[in-house]
Structure 1
Amino acid sequence: MKKVLLYSILIWLCATACSDYLDLKPSNIVTDEDVYANESGVKTALTRLYIDLPIEDYRFDQRGGFNNTNYKFEELETITGFARNRKQDDGANLSGNSGNSWWNYTVIRNVCKYIENLNKYSAGMTADKVDGYQAEGYAIRAWYYFAMAKRFGGLPYIDKVLEYSGPSSIPSLEIPRNSEQETWDYILADLDKALELNIPENNPQGRINKAVVYALKAQVAIYAASIAKYNDLVLEDENTGKMVCGIPASEADRYYEIAYQAANEIIKSEKYELARSFDTNDLSENFRKIFLNVEPDKNKEVIMSRSYSYPDLVYRFDVDRLPWGGQSNPNSCPTLDLVEQFEYLDGTPGTFNTSAGSYIPGEFDNREDLFAGRDARLLGSVIVPGSTFQGELIDVKYGEINASGKEQTSAKYRGKYGMGEDNKTPTSMFQKKMIDDSKKHSLTEFDSDQPWTVIRYAEILLIAAEAQVELGHPEIAQPLINDIRTRAGLQELPVSAITIGEVRRQYICEFVFENKIFWNYRRWRIFDQVMGELFRPRGLFPMLDTRTNKWKYKVDFVGTNDLLFLKKYYYNSISADEIKKNPKLVQNYGY
């Protein structure tokens, strides 16, 4: 564990005086004054805060939480219907804690203590240094609260260290929830404080810099704006009269404007751009490589990333996604529901309009021909049947159609990576995005160390575009959307086609498998429309017609478990233990 922590420090802070960290005494016998009296001690305290950042990366699991090393990474796309696991009930359960229930005031106490101690004990550092470290503290606190607010709504907003001094102090520690609007405004205020303190622009990759603060501000404001506009679940705390779930609709435009202005600060800086040069001949490969090359001098799209390092700081990923991984549960296999989001290059919608149990019209010389001529991000994100990856033919076949027209789907008629068995894809497809193609077939469970892209410029463009469309200015959003579209090989759109539907589809095509679509569906309040009735994802079933030696694709549902999203799931339930500890907490709607 010590080794992992030391590597975390190296990666997150790029410290130049690592030996100072090793020389520190154990924290339980070192006073706060000892820690904060010098920069090395401050960096050590800051490292702990960064480790606790609620980043939904390769070590996040919707059941196991953040920084979890015991679970297989399962993207939240298994909840959206855009991906499916081999075990159909695995990672696809919708409940009052979907997306993980993270009510964590321990980290809030830690960051408040960090901010207070910097004020008390940092006389040995210059004012600029102190301000910079303070700014990171405020931004981290905002990040912590953001993760809780999007799960629970209004929170008890605590901005100082609370101390227990005996039974008589208990009432002062039982703090009711602020309104949801107050909560989002407090988060924005912490981010503004970080900017006011002139957070450095050049903090190394992995640490929060000025652009990251503006990006967080844009993310927070667009989330709050969506709640104000689209949420109709309202809950008032009868003891305080505060609306702990819901924001008045009249506040929507204010939040959209904040989101746009924050995103536009990054756009105006001209320090970031969409990556287009990793492969100028193959737009799909260019897109795929964005996630494997995050160094600032090579990739100006990445605003913030989290790094890993083999063999000490790794996670389990590739082995569960590649067809030759040898595991019994291929995770996050893309569905037909995802494929249909990617339009054709000529602007034709990507839907097949084929009902379950029927064949898609037409025959194909090669299996991958079905996917040709589409948005380049599809083949940058998905391994499709009949394609080649790592020099290996992806031989996925569900069965054959014999001379009499009968389907034959027993094991002997299936391809090497055919469907319907353990260790096989249930949808005919595999995840490609973020897979390290340099790792060949010698995979072990915990050998992945690709960096996680936390924030990238494409999201900033989409937040700015969404805000302007919602504010009634599609002409401002047009160049932002077209920048993203042309990178994917798509045609530019006229102003008349810049709609909220187009913005949302771009989010899906751009960010699938990045744990963002789930939260977008929640803030847009469309989960209950997509899954308001029992929903079951669909797969593609490639069949070789031996009469013509051509390929056909059958569409059908995958798995037996339907997904159903209840409106109350837009807010997570607060655990009974937390309510027992603090009786002034009011439970969320419907629980």
Structure 2
Amino acid sequence: MKILKTSALAISLLALSSGCNDKEFLNVQPTGALSDDQLNTAANIEKQVIATYSQLGNDVYRAPYTSLWPYGNVRAGDAYKGGNGTADVDAFHFYETFTFNRVDVGNTDELWFLIYIGISRANDALRRLETINATAMPNKAIRQGEMRFLRGHFYFMLKELFKRVPYIDETIPTEQYASVSNVALSNDELWTKIADDFRFAVANLPDTQPEIGRANKSAAQAYLAKTLLFQAYVQSDNNAVTSVDQAKLQEVVTLTNQVIASGKYSLHSDFATNFLTAGDNGVESVFAIQFSRNDGTPKGRTDRGNALNYPMNPDYGCCGFHQPSQNLVNAFKTDAQGLPQFETFNNSDLSAPADFQTNTVDPRLDHSVGIPSHPYKYSPSFIFETSWLRDQNTYGVYMSMKENVLPSDPSFQKTPPFMSSSKNWTIIRYADVLLWKAEALIELNRPAEALPIVNQIRQRAQNSTARLKTTTGANISNYRIGQYSAGVWNQAYARQALRFERRLEFALEGQRFFDLVRWGIAADYLNTYFEKEKTKRQHLKDARFTRGRDEYLPIPLNQINFSKGLYQQNPGW
């Protein structure tokens, strides 16, 4: 690289130096810049790998992708936006109602941009890894596996959010990025590209890693299983599910069996452990985002994606977003056998404190939802009150809990005006792996093999009441949860039970909307939800899901403009 620095003094000296013909003094390295050769060392490549991991949690409250709560929970009818009315981060209101969503919403554009930063970092690390030999960097193949895993994760998020995105890997020169269309690959081809990243990771990652937080072989097998499960539900150009690929479902079973057989994972004995700092990197965590505080930085590397979601009481202070819907709370009701009320759960509301005693409920309700008069986050004397709510007239009286910690928790961090913590956010729980296997078995018409798996999840929930106590030691609510019997367990019933179980097990964890789209039932499900819920919540009066459009977010208008019209907008937008 050449650089020329000039000044009045330099020009004068050059004018006087008529006898100097040597220009070699111009060939110097620029101050404050590094060449590729300087960066392509083992030590510097390791830093780029870490930079890619860091992007897992580098989201912001207005465009969160850690938990995906505005897109996976609010759009699914499991939560209302919350906050101070519909104009408070109004993009989330647009997502919730669908009707008002637009192609020029800045939050959607920022979400796209932030996720592509993760892909860019992974690609940069992979390019540099390709330049170094295994002698200089003995763990080269492992680091390549990690970067392919992380790139697969970022692309998976983009795929479930936007469906049609430009696929750029480390082999494409930067100057050619502008020529890569978001429709260059078909829907199935894009899924296959994502799956290929995880296949490479499976082949190159070790069974265990010396450092907590790095992806291992089992995590790659699990994420590959998830990718193939989504790909198995074949979609038309208008987002309708047209068939289910049986071969891919069988591979899902094979992969989940491999994760199970590894012996590294199990369900926590208490469901609560998944959502406590003490449970970070425990036996149920297959892959998680690692956060930190007191790490030498001013405010720590904490969970900013969920920073809006704490109650408005003096111990916290802000901001009252992510409020569970009445429909979700009602879904935790159980019948005399302790089973979900598939068809009738929403006929009446759980509302008054007495309702949680006169009705029987699944214990996972009090693990997931902050309810007035109930202890908050497993602290019997820390009682959730309606005064903690920011706008109960609009959004009701419930608050999400899984992502939050107590103000006394060692991971808690105030980042005024927001709240945060260094508690991990788990991307894949072992319960996911089990229910992916169960789902694949059911769709393969092998429901009998899925029955003990679903009941295993329900048995754990039944045993998870030790932390759900009042100051007197009594249960907070009237818990009753039972297991399914083989007598009624045919494919149709098993499919209904599995889908309901996923809703209860992963409530408010950012997954529900993507499940509905994957199964091809989002339009019917959500319009039925709106029909009833809008009678209770005025902010939903104009909400409507448009089939063939609202399964995915629009391609941001800014991105289409940047591409000079190369990118094509999603159908219906």
TM-score when normalising by structure 1:
0.72
Distance 1:382 1:27 in 2: 55
- 1:29-428 matches, within 5 Å, as 29-38=33-42, 40-53=43-56, 59=59, 61=61, 63-66=62-65, 76-84=72-80, 85-89=82-86, 90=90, 91-93=92-94, 94=98, 95=101, 100=108, 102-103=111-112, 107-127=118-138, 129-163=139-173, 177-226=184-233, 228=234, 231-234=235-238, 249=243, 252-276=245-269, 286-293=270-277, 299-310=282-293, 311-315=299-303, 317=306, 320-322=309-311, 324-325=313-314, 327=317, 330-344=320-334, 346-350=337-341, 366=354, 368-370=356-358, 373-389=360-376, 390=379, 391-396=381-386, 422=391, 426-428=395-397
Deviation at 1:318, TM superposition (A): 7.3
Q: Deviations for 1:314-357, whole angstroms, at most 9, x for unmatched residues?
A: 3465774335257575222222201222242723544795989x
What is the aligned partner in structure 1 of residue 405 from structure 2?
436
Change in CA separation of 1:335 and 1:151 when aligned onto 2, cut-off 3 Å:
closer
Aligned amino acid, residue 291 of structure 1: F
Aligned amino acid, residue 404 of structure 2: I
Distance 2:257 2:453 in 1: 11
What is the aligned partner in structure 1 of residue 468 from structure 2?
none
CA contact (8 A) 1:152 1:571 kept: yes
What is the aligned partner in structure 1 of residue 18 from structure 2?
none
Distance 2:559 2:395 in 1: 39
The partner residue of 2:507 within 499, 509, 512 is: 512
| SS of residue in 2 equivalent to 1:304 | strand
CA contact (8 A) 2:253 2:437 kept: yes
Higher helix residue share: 2
Change in CA separation of 1:513 and 1:561 when aligned onto 2, cut-off 3 Å:
same
What is the aligned partner in structure 2 of residue 474 from structure 1?
447
CA contact (8 A) 1:305 1:453 kept: yes
CA contact (8 A) 2:119 2:151 kept: yes
Deviation at 1:458, TM superposition (A): 0.5
What is the aligned partner in structure 1 of residue 538 from structure 2?
559
CA contact (8 A) 1:203 1:209 kept: no
Q: Deviations for 1:35-80, whole angstroms, at most 9, x for unmatched residues?
A: 3322x21220111212233x6x9x455x524479xxx985742222
What is the aligned partner in structure 1 of residue 433 from structure 2?
460
| SS of residue in 2 equivalent to 1:531 | helix
Change in CA separation of 1:318 and 1:136 when aligned onto 2, cut-off 3 Å:
closer
| SS of residue in 1 equivalent to 2:571 | coil
Deviation at 1:534, TM superposition (A): 7.9
| SS of residue in 2 equivalent to 1:455 | strand
Change in CA separation of 1:306 and 1:100 when aligned onto 2, cut-off 3 Å:
same
Distance 2:499 2:30 in 1: 49
The partner residue of 1:492 within 468, 483, 487 is: 483
Of all paired residues, the percent bearing the same amino acid is 21
Distance 2:66 2:346 in 1: 41
CA contact (8 A) 1:33 1:121 kept: no
Q: Deviations for 1:296-331, whole angstroms, at most 9, x for unmatched residues?
A: 77x201112223233422346577433525757522
Deviation at 1:525, TM superposition (A): 2.5
| SS of residue in 2 equivalent to 1:560 | helix
Deviation at 1:274, TM superposition (A): 0.6
Q: Deviations for 1:349-372, whole angstroms, at most 9, x for unmatched residues?
A: 44795989x8889x97x564256x
Aligned amino acid, residue 270 of structure 1: G
CA contact (8 A) 1:118 1:134 kept: yes
- Which has the higher mean CA deviation after the structures are superposed, 138-147 or 84-93? 84-93
- Which has the higher mean CA deviation after the structures are superposed, 530-539 or 114-123? 530-539
Distance 1:201 1:537 in 2: 49
Aligned amino acid, residue 482 of structure 2: Q
Q: Deviations for 1:350-404, whole angstroms, at most 9, x for unmatched residues?
A: 4795989x8889x97x564256x321111111122322334134444xxxxxxxx
CA contact (8 A) 1:321 1:333 kept: no
- Which has the higher mean CA deviation after the structures are superposed, 261-270 or 321-330? 321-330
Q: Deviations for 1:170-220, whole angstroms, at most 9, x for unmatched residues?
A: 996668521111111121122111222244522533221112111211111
Distance 2:495 2:31 in 1: 51
Change in CA separation of 1:343 and 1:256 when aligned onto 2, cut-off 3 Å:
farther
Distance 1:209 1:514 in 2: 23
Change in CA separation of 1:537 and 1:34 when aligned onto 2, cut-off 3 Å:
farther
Change in CA separation of 1:60 and 1:504 when aligned onto 2, cut-off 3 Å:
farther
Deviation at 1:428, TM superposition (A): 2.5
Distance 1:486 1:564 in 2: 37
Q: Deviations for 1:151-176, whole angstroms, at most 9, x for unmatched residues?
A: 333444333343366xxx79966685
CA contact (8 A) 2:394 2:538 kept: no
Q: Deviations for 1:60-115, whole angstroms, at most 9, x for unmatched residues?
A: 55x524479xxx98574222222221545252322367994654555444433322
What is the aligned partner in structure 2 of residue 282 from structure 1?
none
Deviation at 1:502, TM superposition (A): 0.8
Distance 1:138 1:146 in 2: 12
What is the aligned partner in structure 1 of residue 21 from structure 2?
none
Aligned amino acid, residue 321 of structure 1: Y
Change in CA separation of 1:224 and 1:248 when aligned onto 2, cut-off 3 Å:
same
- Which has the higher mean CA deviation after the structures are superposed, 143-152 or 346-355? 346-355
- Which has the higher mean CA deviation after the structures are superposed, 176-185 or 302-311? 302-311
CA contact (8 A) 2:222 2:256 kept: yes
The Cα RMSD (Å) is: 3.8
Change in CA separation of 1:492 and 1:87 when aligned onto 2, cut-off 3 Å:
same
Deviation at 1:267, TM superposition (A): 1.1
What is the aligned partner in structure 1 of residue 3 from structure 2?
none
Change in CA separation of 1:132 and 1:164 when aligned onto 2, cut-off 3 Å:
closer
What is the aligned partner in structure 2 of residue 401 from structure 1?
none
Distance 1:66 1:432 in 2: 18
Distance 1:196 1:360 in 2: 49
Deviation at 1:130, TM superposition (A): 0.9
Aligned amino acid, residue 564 of structure 1: R
Distance 1:328 1:537 in 2: 30
- Which has the higher mean CA deviation after the structures are superposed, 81-90 or 201-210? 81-90
Aligned amino acid, residue 313 of structure 2: W
Deviation at 1:533, TM superposition (A): 6.2
Deviation at 1:501, TM superposition (A): 1.2
CA contact (8 A) 1:176 1:584 kept: no
Q: Deviations for 1:503-542, whole angstroms, at most 9, x for unmatched residues?
A: 1111111111211112212222222112236816759xxx
